[in-house]
Each structure stands twice: as C-alpha cells, then as structure tokens.
Amino acid sequence: MGDYPKPGDHIFADRGTYDHHGIYVGEAEVTDPSSGKTRKLKHAVIHFGGNNSNIKGKASDAPCRKCFNKHGDPGVTLTCLKCFHKGDTFYKYRYDVSFITFNTTRNGSCTTASCDEPDVVIKRAYAFLHNQNFGDYDFFFNNCEHFATACKTGKARCNQGAAGFGVAGAIVYKAARRLLW
C-alpha cells in the first residue's frame, strides 16, 4: 500500500499464511506506562490479538519507543502503524464488492457487506479498546478480522477462516461459529 490509509479504514497486513486486520484511526494519544506521560501518534491502528498470534516479535522484546507496544499483550490494542504491519505489506480491506469479486478474490481481503461511516467505525474501535469487551481471541471464531469487520459493520465476520474451502467452507464456518460462539 503506497499511500497512508484514511481514518476508519479497515487495513490488513499480509503475514504469509494469514492476514492481520485492524482499524486505522489516524492520530491518537498513547501513555507511557513507566512515566505516565502522553504522546501523540501520527499514524495509529487499533487491532485485536492474543498470545502473540498477530505480532512478529516476542513478549520479551523491548516495548516500542513510539507507541509503547509490548508485542505480546493480548486483547484490543492501539499501536503505531509500524508495530501493526511490522514491515509486511499492508492493504485496505474492501467493502460493498460484487459477489463475483468476493468469490474471485483472496479470502480475508473484501466483503459484500456495506460499512458504516468512518466516525462510527472509529468510535466502535475505541469502545472495544477502552472496555476490552471483544472477548477472548480464537483463531477461527473470534480473531482480528472479526474485530475489524465488527468495527466497520457492527457485525463480526471473517472470510479468511474459510480459506481454500470456497462457499461450502464459508457455510460450514458460519454454522460452526453460531454453535460454538
């Protein structure tokens, strides 16, 4: 992605075997946990993960000097854009795509669903961040794509979970999520 995303954009970083999703919020304020001082980030992302599942690096790595991210904190976090994508290529997730585009594009990169206005999306992302109420991370049934689509549409969805299984996989995935979640 050459240009910076716009606040409220759903972005994802290509991790090879999966993608990591988040909501770009633009400028944000972060607090240094050791000093209590605040700092403005020019490019911030709110994203969701658990047990180092979405972050390159180890929990023992030093916190980021820019956003104070510890690279292993589970739950909903606010980080700088660099900590979000960690050098991987990142893209804008697309909404309102045609059924044909949805079925011929790689899973986890678009949806036929419509999305809400950027201010609503950002408000939802910050609510999940402040309340830490998105639930426990589950790679198949409550992951970062579920988080980002919940922020964008009000409903958690994930199509990378059905990767490689086409429409039948998506139907089985949807049914299993309803039963287990």
In a domain, 5, yes or no: no
Q: Is 4 domain-assigned?
A: no
Q: Domain for residue 1, yes or no?
A: no
Q: Which pLDDT value is given to residue 148?
A: 97
Alpha helices for the chain (secondary structure H):
81-85, 99-104, 118-131, 144-153, 166-180
Average confidence (pLDDT) per 10 residues, the chain, 181 residues: 84 89 97 91 93 51 86 87 90 94 87 96 98 92 95 91 50 48 42
Burial class for 82, CB neighbours closer than 10 Å (0-12, 13-18, 19+): middle
For residue 18, being part of any structural domain is answered with: yes
Domain region containing 58: 10-180
pLDDT of residue 156: 94
Domain for residue 170, yes or no? yes
The pLDDT of residue 60 is 54
Whether residue 173 lies inside any domain: the answer is yes
At residue 171, the pLDDT reads 52
Tell me, yes or no, whether 3 lies in a domain.
Answer: no
Q: Does residue 2 lie in a domain region?
A: no
Which backbone phi and psi does 29 adopt, to 5 degrees? -110, 135
Residue with tokens 């970062």: 144
> What's 139's domain CATH number?
3.90.1720.10
Count of structural domains, the chain:
1
Q: Tell me the per-residue pLDDT of 19-36, one tens digit each, with 9 for 90 and over.
A: 999 999 999 999 988 899
- Model pTM above 0.75: yes
